[in-house]
Structure 1
Amino acid sequence: MTDVRDATDTAVVTPLSDLDADAVELLRESLTEAVRDHRHVIVDLHAAPTIDSAGLSMLVRAYNEAKSAGGTLSLAAPSRYVVTVLHTMKLHQVFPLYEDVEEALSA
């Protein structure tokens, strides 16, 4: 359901399906561990074309946890749908958004 890659103090978490209530249950633990164990976390959304309120809630919670620990959480390769949802909820101003993982890693 998820793929987690480590690179020094950065973890890349890749959900392998839509970020809906079912996926959140499987992804939450991986994302929580990544935020706990790494200073920077990138969520690679290339394989997650849609998101619902459960997915948004999980991302916001992880972002807040990362920020309170002095780290960052950014989103890479969000679909047009995900970007639209983020804009609608004014979350595009919260999450750093990158075209792909490589761009996020170099930021």
Structure 2
Amino acid sequence: MAIDTKKLSALLEASKEELKQVEKLGGLEKTAELQAEMKKDLGMEDELAEVSPMLPSYLSTVNRNLVYLLGAYRSTATHAKNRSKEFDDLQGALSKVKKV
């Protein structure tokens, strides 16, 4: 069975385009700003509880989820960038494979 270099090359190019889209999303600056503001507000638990007894707990949960979201996004963006570089290397290696 021969390696289908044309199909692999086409899929690599398509995948690189998808990864570029992930990289273009940006750093979610406003979401990071929201998370930082919420973290500051968590220090005012008494004031939050006066508004609603459930508000401190809810704010804490949302803040924790935002921290997770931002970390996961940064990790995904880093992976996208690194895989793009690997795809370029693989593309170069495939170009040297004897076409069948």
Report 1 or 2 for greater relative contact order, CA contacts < 8 Å, sequence distance ≥ 6: 2
How does the TM-score come out when normalised to structure 2?
0.24
How does the TM-score come out when normalised to structure 1?
0.23
User: Which structure has more strand as a fraction of its residues?
Assistant: 1
